[in-house]
Amino acid sequence: MKRATVLAFLVGILIINGGCRKLEINEEKADDMSGFSKRKLKSTFSSTTPFGVNLAGGEFGKIPGSYGADYTYPTTGELDYYSSKGLKLIRFPFKWERLQPVMNAALDATELGRVMAVVDAANTRGVVVLLDCHNYGRRNISGTNFIIGSPEVPVAAFRDYWTRMAEAFKSKTNIWAYDLMNEPHDMLTTPSWFDIAQEAINGVRSTDLTTSIMVSGDAWSGAGWFGIPGSKSDVLKNLADPSNKLIFQAHVYFDKDASGTYKNSYDLEEAYPNRGVDKVKPFVDWLAANNKKGFIGEYGVPADDSRWLVVLDNFLRYIRNNNINGTYWAGGPWWGTYPLSIEPDANGDKPQMAVVKNYLNASDTPVGTVSDIDWNLYNTVTIGTQVWMVENFKASKYRNGDPIANVTDNTAWKGLTTGAYCWYNNDAANKDTYGALYNWHAVSDSRAIAPAGWHVPTDAERAALDTYLGGSSVAGGPMKEAGLVHWTTPNTGATNSSGFTAVPAGYRVSGTGAFSSLGLQNYLWSSTQNDAASAFRRQLQYNSANTPNGISDKKSGFSVRLIKDSQITVTDIDGNVYNTITIGNQVWMVENLKVTRFRNGDPIDNITGSTTWKGLTTGAYCWYNNDIANKDIYGALYNWHAVSDSRNIAPAGWHVPTDAERLTLDTYLGGSNVAGGQLKEEGVVHWTTPNTGATNTSGFTGVPAGYRVSSTGAFSSLGLQNYIWSATQNDAASAFRRQLQYNSINAPTAVSDKKSGFSVRLVKD
């Protein structure tokens, strides 16, 4: 088939394939395009390696096909163009069948020479190459695709192929990694994709111990599958590489079904600015939890609506800030009108290129830094288990690109009930040293003031920092910038031993809009509301080493310091995601459990009737007052029969704590007579006043979920108490539980009827 015919054919039937893919070709109607996939989606890597692009073409066309008519490889012109844009990595797709026409035989010399020529041309331009076997876990034999591991395509043949490829390319210094297989999917159970990948790794390492090896996730490399414990992608973490140079690959597209087809408009796809961040986060969290290196091999957006470019920008910023690089899908001259194409046309660069160019290199934002939407760069510091920005925040836009109002007039400022910022004395010269001053309405705006992966700290998180530095009576010294360059004498106790580097940015007075105390004080907002008019903040002072906590009018103009999101989350079988906190040597969920199924997928009975509830001897759950609106804040209430069910209420790797484990927590916090204060969420947003002693310095964030009475099935004490089951039985009718109360700082243990409906908090195995 001639190239022009191929182009016309592509334009006519092109579909962006998905959940991680681009093209879908009807193989029954287009035998000469059988190299394309036919599918439908079923349901802290630190590196100086640059971001890059997929240069497609080598995976096109029938098998074996004719070079230059059915398929093509990147030209020097393409390499020059993308290199000139700063994209110094190409993912180079090709077909197994073309490089090795006969299984377990020598590589084809002509085809190998073509691929070698591209690699060498890239090397002269300072471009590194990811060799991508683009076969979807299959090999084409006489027009039929057979799964690797089937009798037709033995695993040993795949190992042989990669052994020969590694032998051929191991001396090429610009090979970044061997990409074993693009988007394996619907693989056999035995041998599994895990087994196949391990054999290929063994083959590569038999001849090349230096080059990195990339392993794609199963299920079309969908990012979300990595976050599901025990999934075919999750288990890849157990692959063994004697060189310890494995990189794990996910693909991410941003349309509603993650297919990459973008069949509908931005609005009909129900898109939003952080769609990409939300889709990739399970993979990012999986990498962090398992200490693995990661890569996003494919992502892309159409350019028919500028809002897609915002999604792309937020996504790229997020993965870069998590030290992950990737390659855009796709470049190459044969795409025609393909909407995701980044190949230039008669009008010049595609709109997507303007966004991608901002992420030329994973080291453009050095490890230990983060940028905001205005491209202000912030250093970061780890203090205890927290990661903080080292400078006051100074972004002028929300995360979605909407501007934050810059209000200079004093009268206007003091009357605001919406988000705003300013520079001290309305002088932009103060920006770089002191950052911006924001009212709390900007801090709490749903559009988010912080870049993806970061947030304004809660008062509890800020308290945890003080506790780590010795308590609020002395923490100011280790936090304040030392010396008198910015602080007024005497700058009491300032050592900056924490690296926090607080500066005296002053503030803007809520009642007048006037500026005050530059050089003397720094007020830092928390995200924790006190009431409708006020919120919690912390204070640093020139004449004291303490860090007093207080509440201020939301109209005040204070500084903001951001904290990095927790890198460890856990997902239950329903897909609910829970944050976690390390307290002593234990790791706890930060939210009450709200799962509705046991680990094996069986449903837990949802019992609403009071008479039925009080007579139960089997597992059940409910929402408080049978109102699902209480789910996200308070979690579910379970009887103890659900807690003790052999099908297991907890996701893999987690469990309901024994009474002894809960006692260990109390002991670490000073004993059960005082632990309640440190375990309870601070303030009276959820707890009834006075919420005695609540500091939440542990980060446990206990909420007053109430309970369900065993003898009547009635609901009681929302806002007042939280009863939490242990896994420890007392006798046939009762089990141990702990209690948090609105009017006490203790956390008493006792026994209760197993028919009671209490909260569950899980602890890591």
d(CA 458, CA 682): 9
The tokens of 108 are what?
Answer: 């084809």
In one-letter notation, the amino acid at residue 199 is E
The tokens of 749 are what?
Answer: 């243990």
d(CA 739, CA 666): 12
Beginning with the edge strand found earlier in the chain, give each strand of the sheet holding 420-422 in spatial order. 405-406, 420-422, 437-438
First vs last C-alpha separation in the chain: 59
The tokens of 726 are what?
Answer: 């242990």
Other Cβ atoms within 10 Å of 140 Cβ, number = 19
Listed in sequence order, the residues at least 6 apart from 266 whose beta carbon sits closer than 8 Å to its beta carbon are 305, 307, 308
CB 379 within 8 A of CB 435: no
Region label for 320, one of left (φ > 0), alpha (ψ between -120 and 50) or beta (otherwise): alpha
Whats the size of the chain, residue-wise? 765
d(CA 74, CA 22): 18
Residue whose structure tokens are 């956390």: 747
d(CA 533, CA 554): 6
- Which residues are known catalytic residues? 183, 298
Angle of helix 306-321 relative to helix 275-290, nearest 10 degrees?
10
Give the closest residue to 656 by CA, choosing from 646, 665, 643, 666. 643
Quick one: CA dihedral 747, 748, 751, 755, positive or negative?
Answer: negative
Q: What are phi and psi of 633, to 5 degrees?
A: -85, -45
E-state strands within 623-748: 637-638, 654-655, 705-708, 715-718, 721-729, 734-741
Can you tell me whether residue 651 is helix, strand or coil? coil
d(CA 254, CA 309): 11
